[in-house]
Structure 1
């Protein structure tokens, strides 16, 4: 009975999280576009499946993923071996990324189009190495106790410098890559690892030191992909390979956003394949290196099963209910010629989809727990969602007006750096992490459809150059709003 009570509570919360998306889509569909969706029944069914999947996923995290990450961190801290800890961190980042289905598809497409000049395996290896390096570097920072902002600021400088050297066809895609490399399963596990380490190491604070790993995993791919673009551009005539690859990726994003019954049935296999490398690394280190059995293995196994079922149901519901109508709305709005409606839709869809992000919900729950309620999980999600909304609206404005993406991003980075010196220490790592967790299962497909729809429907815009980049805006602005929230909260606390 207790399990059912908890599940129905989670289910109720899931419906509440999805309500903003439903309201936004309904208002634009019925009152602005003035058309009733042809697939209304499938949309309703899809939303019910999404809510069910989200509830099951969150319960699975609590039972399986969070305990695994925290237990491993404690065991590594007891073992006292920095080498094995860094190797584990690297392999978790590497294995989860190299098995990412979207990365595999893009890498294979790149090899075919470039006639073998771009090797699919080397491309996947490069991106996976960047994430593995990022997680290991983040763990090293926790162990030695360095402030996160120094690492992040240096990383931003590298991103900006490379932006002026990389081919412009690759810049938007490189910026976006930072937001899509951290999967829905990876984020909670990595967060649990960081918090567990910071809790176990003497002199570390789980709030200040425990968060930040996701920020590293979002930053390094931007650097590596731009370096890859610089190198790849030298192998073709006038960047032919890069341009062709960008076209293929653009087309692939559009194609994948359509409902495909075969794809839905294979999503379960994709979810399992995505999780298997993570479990392989975990069990290898647990039983071979640490040489101890996992405590409460049956409970953790059940939690992992719930994560797989919940994530599969979540993706299935999105494919049936939200993706088709989201893409249709994006194209309908760009065809109306009413620019204000485009910005309003971008803002509202950014806010509503972020509030429903499973990865953000997991991080917010953990932030409230380790901060002993100093950070309110709902308020944190609201401010992150507000940042995403502002970012996507501004990104849509950039596409409409035809501005260069790097000028916007550079100004945003400057604002982040300035706020870092004013924000309370406990909020900075969480703010940095918030940029990586906002662009995941729900947000990315809808935002990608909006960006590509705008670039394809506005005269003078190129989908290769202008269509990408919205995810980068969605990753940047939450850092600003969350630090702003921290500054305001600290001011009110001192005032009282």
Structure 2
């Protein structure tokens, strides 16, 4: 019990540390530029603390339940050597992890609210979860057979660009944002562990070249499926909600209150987590026919996951969403857009440098690369890419340009760099594009985009408000691959990249 409490305090300190860059940037802008405390500042501060508490409980629950059980299952299936069984397990884990992803829940609810129900939150999450499940099965197939990742990515992003060309503008930003948030606090550790574990256990596979890449595929495929969903949803003509009025009405609504509401919300969270519980129990008892090692410990872990998710969502409504919208409204009041661009850049860089998933992946890459990659250099490159991406995304909202051109141009550049980059960096670069957006960064950046779109005249929140997460996922790929290409050229002047 004492050990678990220490772990919880460590997780709480970890969550507060992730919030610290956001707090520093917001306070710096408030003190040095705006020189006023935002309206509802105390409520926002309370919301941030609740977010940190929710993330800590959630992480503690994962460490007690989902992570150890999932890793044991993956190892047992790998030892059996059955490809169909491994692919089925990959699908089930991918589906169940994404359906419970807190950042995706937040984005889906925002999309449903702004579109006035035209986009259904649960349908959106089911589409995303199914896509990631298929990706996991495909990724397991790729690792086992040793197929080069870059061909999967080039073909995949050509399809992404083609679908984007035909997709309605109301869905493009949301589709790319949704692709970015599927790989987050729940999915990244499970996906990365499965890929690296498989590559390490198969003779002739390289953990750096073959083990990474599952996260990248998990980002790409939902972009395609959500845009296809949007093509169906917006096939019939209908009125498009402006979104700003809906957003203001939601902001004026009271936060969850009362025991009845709390119990109902907790049951809602149980519904969100139930798929991954059922998947684990099914494979544990029906397929492997082994009992859980510590059923009480696992049960407590699942309870903490549910309570943590509830606290996280409440904290979002009180803290991170209002901060993003408030900062957007305040910065727009100046005669120049310079401060909006600077705020976007600082938030992107600061939060990414503190991103725990990025630190973990950087360390894994440094170990697997045997001196070719430095973890700290990777973090700086990725943080710079996120900062540039969010700044460009903010410019798109301010200018009112169509997101189609930016997204298509960005991924054409990514496809070109993929063909030129050294093979050892490709899978890692794509994975890094998927782990840059944390459970804290996603809601704040989403709220910033929605806040800008709702404050600038002539912008539509659904069309213009989403998309910042997409830019935050594209440009780290660009910066990391560009760096690898340059380093390869410097190391071998006139030589060809491998």
Task: With the length of structure 2 as denominator, give the TM-score of the two structures.
Answer: 0.82
Is contact 1:271-1:308 (8 Å) kept? yes
Secondary structure of 2:208 counterpart:
coil
Q: Could you say which residue in structure 2 is the equivalent of 1:255?
A: 250
Give 1:341 deviation, angstroms: 0.6
Is contact 1:424-1:486 (8 Å) kept? yes
Structure 1 range deviating more: 147-156 or 64-73: 64-73
Q: What is the root-mean-square deviation in Å for CA atoms of aligned residues?
A: 3.9
Give 1:396 deviation, angstroms: 0.9
Partner Cα distance (2:252, 2:204) in 1: 47
> Unpaired runs of 5+ in structure 2?
494-498
The correspondence for 1:335, drawn from 314, 333, 337, is 333
Q: Could you say which residue in structure 2 is the equivalent of 1:429?
A: 427
Give 1:468 deviation, angstroms: 2.2
Q: Could you say which residue in structure 2 is the equivalent of 1:144?
A: 145
Alignment of 1:34-113 (within 5 A): 34-54=35-55, 57-58=58-59, 61-62=62-63, 64-98=65-99, 101=105, 105=109
Is contact 1:448-1:471 (8 Å) kept? yes
Give 1:157 deviation, angstroms: 0.7
Partner Cα distance (2:347, 2:432) in 1: 18
Secondary structure of 1:173 counterpart:
helix
Secondary structure of 1:465 counterpart:
helix
Alignment of 1:195-344 (within 5 A): 195-234=196-235, 236=236, 239-240=237-238, 243-244=240-241, 247=242, 251=246, 255=250, 260-262=255-257, 268-295=266-293, 307-308=305-306, 312-344=310-342
Structure 1 range deviating more: 253-262 or 24-33: 253-262
Partner Cα distance (2:64, 2:375) in 1: 19
Is contact 1:111-1:120 (8 Å) kept? no
Task: With the length of structure 1 as denominator, give the TM-score of the two structures.
Answer: 0.82
Q: Could you say which residue in structure 2 is the equivalent of 1:388?
A: 386
Post-superposition Cα deviations, 1:160-215, rounded to whole Å, max 9, x if no partner, equal 11222222333222222212334522232222222222222222222322222222
Q: Could you say which residue in structure 1 is the equivalent of 2:413?
A: 415
Q: Could you say which residue in structure 1 is the equivalent of 2:474?
A: 476
Partner Cα distance (2:48, 2:451) in 1: 24
Q: Could you say which residue in structure 1 is the equivalent of 2:159?
A: 158
Partner Cα distance (1:385, 1:120) in 2: 30
Relative to structure 1, the CA distance from residue 481 to residue 397 in structure 2 (aligned partners, 3 Å threshold; closer, same or farther) is: same
Give 1:87 deviation, angstroms: 1.7
Give 1:372 deviation, angstroms: 7.3
Post-superposition Cα deviations, 1:410-440, rounded to whole Å, max 9, x if no partner, equal 3322332333345444432232122223334
Give 1:395 deviation, angstroms: 0.7
Structure 1 range deviating more: 75-84 or 48-57: 48-57
Is contact 2:436-2:472 (8 Å) kept? yes
Give 1:218 deviation, angstroms: 1.5
Is contact 2:127-2:225 (8 Å) kept? yes
Give 1:294 deviation, angstroms: 4.2
Q: Could you say which residue in structure 2 is the equivalent of 1:134?
A: 135
Is contact 1:61-1:188 (8 Å) kept? no
Partner Cα distance (1:38, 1:494) in 2: 57
Partner Cα distance (1:123, 1:4) in 2: 36
Relative to structure 1, the CA distance from residue 35 to residue 55 in structure 2 (aligned partners, 3 Å threshold; closer, same or farther) is: same
Partner Cα distance (1:490, 1:25) in 2: 39
The correspondence for 1:403, drawn from 401, 404, 408, is 401
Partner Cα distance (2:131, 2:361) in 1: 22
Post-superposition Cα deviations, 1:343-372, rounded to whole Å, max 9, x if no partner, equal 001111222333454554554565556667
Post-superposition Cα deviations, 1:15-40, rounded to whole Å, max 9, x if no partner, equal 44333211110111122112123545
Give 1:216 deviation, angstroms: 1.5
Secondary structure of 1:427 counterpart:
helix
Q: Could you say which residue in structure 1 is the equivalent of 2:496?
A: none
Structure 1 range deviating more: 397-406 or 419-428: 419-428
Structure 1 range deviating more: 25-34 or 399-408: 399-408
Is contact 1:50-1:314 (8 Å) kept? yes
Is contact 2:324-2:451 (8 Å) kept? no
Partner Cα distance (1:185, 1:91) in 2: 14
Structure 1 range deviating more: 224-233 or 304-313: 304-313
Partner Cα distance (1:313, 1:207) in 2: 37
Partner Cα distance (2:8, 2:371) in 1: 23
Structure 1 range deviating more: 305-314 or 123-132: 305-314
Instruction: State how many pairs are aligned.
Output: 486
Give 1:337 deviation, angstroms: 3.3
